[in-house]
């Protein structure tokens, strides 16, 4: 049986997760198909946001958005600068840097587990794929695969499913596709 190892790069600004299997390292994309996840944490009245969602709302909710938590590791717990105070579910809560960092580590672990489950399912049915891409990116590739575009262009592809909404923007130039941006929203039902 081929052994797998997971590695997590816990960065001050971005974090990422990779898997080592079959003799090679592969950086795993998150739900937004990005290979790095912002090391941001935010709390709203109703939910806890981690990664892209937290960073995207930071300007609108700065007092309840946390980033750069690693810089406080190793400080004494009774130091008031070590505790993050936020409003969450209409209550004031305090979190330590370790608690905040554990949230991003949990997210990285979840990303790796979901990715490996898809890869394992593919192998189980005999599909030994080299790369997994999002549905909206695949649709964009399908759209432009057999077309000859005289000038470079960008295409916007969206996939509205039963419980998700995915968007990709792809640049096409001389038959080469480049994914410029991808976003995904789940649990829209």
List the domains of the chain with CATH numbers. Answer: 1-128 (3.30.420.40), 135-186 (3.30.420.40)
Q: Which position has the higher pLDDT, 177 or 99?
A: 99
For residues 182 and 168, give the distance between their C-alpha atoms in angstroms, rounded to a whole number: 4
Return the percentage of the chain with pLDDT > 90, whole number: 15
Helix residue ranges, H only, the chain: 52-56, 97-124, 135-144
pLDDT at 17: 93
- First-to-last CA distance in the chain? 40
* Range in 91-100, 105-114, 166-175 with the lowest mean pLDDT: 166-175
Alpha-carbon distance of 163 to 116, in angstroms, equals 22
Q: In this structure, are residues 167 and 182 in contact, taking their beta carbons and an 8 Å threshold?
A: yes
**11-15, 27-31, 94-98, 141-145 — which is least confidently predicted?**
141-145
**What residues contact 82, with CB distance under 8 A and at least 6 apart?**
72, 75, 76, 96, 97
pLDDT at 21: 79
Q: pLDDT at position 122, please?
A: 84
pLDDT band at 130 (very low <50, low <70, confident <90, very high): low
How large is the average pLDDT for residues 106-135?
83
Residue 1 has pLDDT above 60, yes or no: no
Whether residue 56 has pLDDT greater than 70: yes
pLDDT band at 189 (very low <50, low <70, confident <90, very high): low
Q: What is the mean pLDDT of residues 162-166?
A: 75
pLDDT score at 169: 82
Mean pLDDT score of the chain, rounded to an integer? 81
Q: What is the pLDDT of residues 8-48, one digit of tens each?
A: 998 888 999 998 877 888 888 888 778 899 999 998 888 88
Is 106's pLDDT higher than 90? Answer: yes
Sign of CA dihedral 145, 150, 156, 161: negative
- Between these two residues, 130 and 173, which has the higher pLDDT value? 173
The whole-number pLDDT of residue 166 equals 78
């Amino acid at each position: 049986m081929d052994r797998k190892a997971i590695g997590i790069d816990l960065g001050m600004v971005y974090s990422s997760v990779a898997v080592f299997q079959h003799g090679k390292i592969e950086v795993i994309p998150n739900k937004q198909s990005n290979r790095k996840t912002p090391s941001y944490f935010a709390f709203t009245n109703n939910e806890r946001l981690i990664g892209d969602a937290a960073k995207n709302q930071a300007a609108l909710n700065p007092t309840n958005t946390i980033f750069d938590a690693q810089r406080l590791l190793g400080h004494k717990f009774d130091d008031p600068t070590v505790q993050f105070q936020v409003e969450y579910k209409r209550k004031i809560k305090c979190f330590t840097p370790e608690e905040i960092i554990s949230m991003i580590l949990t997210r990285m672990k979840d990303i790796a587990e979901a990715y490996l489950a898809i890869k394992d399912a593919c192998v189980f049915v005999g599909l030994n794929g080299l790369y997994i891409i999002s549905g909206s990116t695949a649709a964009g590739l399908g759209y432009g695969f057999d077309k000859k575009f005289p000038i470079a262009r960008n295409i916007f592809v969206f996939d509205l499913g039963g419980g998700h909404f995915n968007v990709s923007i792809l640049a096409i130039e001389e038959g080469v596709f480049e994914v410029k941006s991808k976003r995904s929203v789940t649990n829209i039902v």
